[in-house]
Structure 1
Amino acid sequence: MPRPKREEQFEDGEICIVHAVQRCVRRAFLAGVDAQTGKDYSFRKEWIRRRMEALASVFGIDVLSYAVMSNHLHVILRNRPDVVATWSDAEVAIRWLRVFPGRRMEEHLAEPTEHEVKTLAGNAERIAEIRHRMSDISWFMRSLAEPISRMANRQDECTGRFWEGRFKAQRIADEAGLLACSMYVDLNPVRAAMTSDPATSPHTSAFDRIEAGQGKRIDSAAFDLKPVPTEEAAKKTRKTPVKELREQQRAKKRNPTGKRIRRDAWLAPLTLAPDKLSSDTEVNCDGLRASNRGFLHVSIRDYLRLLRWTAKQSVDGIAAKVPDSLAKTLTEIGIDASMWRDLVWQWQKYFGKSICVGSPESMRQDAQRCGKHHHQGQASASACFT
Structure 2
Amino acid sequence: MWEGRFKSQALLDESAVLACMAYVDLNPIRAKMAKMAKTLETSDHASIQYRINAAKKAQQPDNLLPFVGNPRQDMPKGIAYSFKDYCELIDTTGKSIREDKRGYIEEKSPVLERLGVDSEQWLILTAEFEQHFNTAVGSEHLMRPFGIHTQHQRIPDISKAKTLLKHT
Where in structure 1 do 4 or more consecutive aligned residues deviate above 4 Å?
Answer: none
2:57 alignment partner AA: G
1:345 alignment partner AA: A
What is the aligned counterpart of 2:89 among 306, 309, 312?
306
2:55 corresponds to which residue? 213
What is the aligned counterpart of 1:178 among 2, 10, 17?
17
Query: Offset of 1:357 from its aligned partner?
Result: 1.1
1:187 alignment partner AA: L
With over 3 angstroms needed to count, the CA separation of the structure-2 counterparts of 1:266 and 1:372, relative to structure 1, is closer
1:356 is the counterpart of 2:136: yes
SS at match of 1:312: helix
Asked if the contact 2:89/2:111 (under 8 Å) is kept, the reply is no
CA distance in 2, matches of 1:338, 1:329: 14
What is the aligned counterpart of 1:190 among 29, 32, 49?
29
1:355 alignment partner AA: T
2:117 corresponds to which residue? 335
Q: What is the alpha-carbon root mean square deviation over aligned residues?
A: 2.9
Q: Normalising by the residue count of structure 1, what TM-score does the alignment of the two structures yield? A: 0.37
Asked if the contact 2:93/2:103 (under 8 Å) is kept, the reply is no
Query: Offset of 1:378 from its aligned partner?
Result: 1.8
CA distance in 2, matches of 1:316, 1:363: 34
1:331 alignment partner AA: E
1:276 is the counterpart of 2:74: yes
With over 3 angstroms needed to count, the CA separation of the structure-2 counterparts of 1:366 and 1:343, relative to structure 1, is same
Query: Offset of 1:360 from its aligned partner?
Result: 2.4
CA distance in 2, matches of 1:263, 1:276: 20
1:366 is the counterpart of 2:146: yes
SS at match of 2:158: coil
**Aligned 1:225-244 pairs, distance under 5 A:** none
Comparing 328-337 and 170-179, the one that deviates more: 328-337
Query: Offset of 1:169 from its aligned partner?
Result: 2.2
Aligned length: 159
CA distance in 2, matches of 1:211, 1:310: 20
Q: Where does structure 2 lack aligned partners over 5 or more consecutive residues?
A: none
Query: Offset of 1:331 from its aligned partner?
Result: 3.0
With over 3 angstroms needed to count, the CA separation of the structure-2 counterparts of 1:276 and 1:196, relative to structure 1, is farther
Query: Offset of 1:320 from its aligned partner?
Result: 5.1
Aligned identity (percent) is 26
Q: Deviations over 1:228-251 (max 9, x none)?
A: xxxxxxxxxxxxxxxxxxxxxxxx
Query: Offset of 1:337 from its aligned partner?
Result: 2.8
Q: Deviations over 1:198-222 (max 9, x none)?
A: 4324472x11111122228xxxxxx
Query: Offset of 1:275 from its aligned partner?
Result: 4.1
CA distance in 2, matches of 1:349, 1:201: 26
CA distance in 2, matches of 1:336, 1:306: 12
2:96 alignment partner AA: Q
Select the structure of larger CA radius of gyration: 1
Query: Offset of 1:315 from its aligned partner?
Result: 6.1
What is the aligned counterpart of 1:384 among 149, 164, 168?
164
SS at match of 1:187: helix
Asked if the contact 2:10/2:136 (under 8 Å) is kept, the reply is yes
1:347 corresponds to which residue? 129
More strand by share: 1
With over 3 angstroms needed to count, the CA separation of the structure-2 counterparts of 1:383 and 1:180, relative to structure 1, is same
Asked if the contact 1:331/1:337 (under 8 Å) is kept, the reply is no
CA distance in 1, matches of 2:116, 2:107: 15
With over 3 angstroms needed to count, the CA separation of the structure-2 counterparts of 1:337 and 1:190, relative to structure 1, is same
1:240 corresponds to which residue? none
Which is bigger in relative contact order (C-alpha 8 A, separation at least 6)? 2
